[in-house]
Amino acid sequence: MWGVGDWIVRREVWRGRPWLGTIVRIVEDRHDLLVSYLPEGAECELDAGRRWWDDRWRDFAPDPTWKPPPLPAGWEAATAVD
């Protein structure tokens, strides 16, 4: 188990190989729950050490006209906590 506040590398695995690693901070770690925080601007690397934010992504921006879909009954949107 990790301690609250520890920084770890979360690896995503595809076809038995890690293909993406991102740095996350542990918020809570229990036997039934793992909560991590991915801060804005966190470093990440692809399997060969290539960074995904190369020049192809420089001008990427989400569509400003996109609206999130409505949440089903009983769900609430998460809000930032200071």
The alpha-helical segments, DSSP class H, found in 1-82 are: none
For 81, the token pair is 């906590």
Q: What angle do CA 68, 37, 14 make, to 5 degrees?
A: 80
Residue 4: Cβ-neighbour burial (10 angstroms; 0-12, 13-18, 19+): exposed
Q: What angle do CA 11, 17, 23 make, to 5 degrees?
A: 15
Q: What are the mean pLDDT values of the chain's consecutive 10-residue runs (82 residues total)?
A: 90 82 91 90 71 59 73 68 57
Supply the pTM of this predicted model: 0.52
pLDDT of residue 7: 92
pLDDT of residue 79: 62
Query: Closest Cα to residue 47, out of 2, 11, 9?
Result: 11
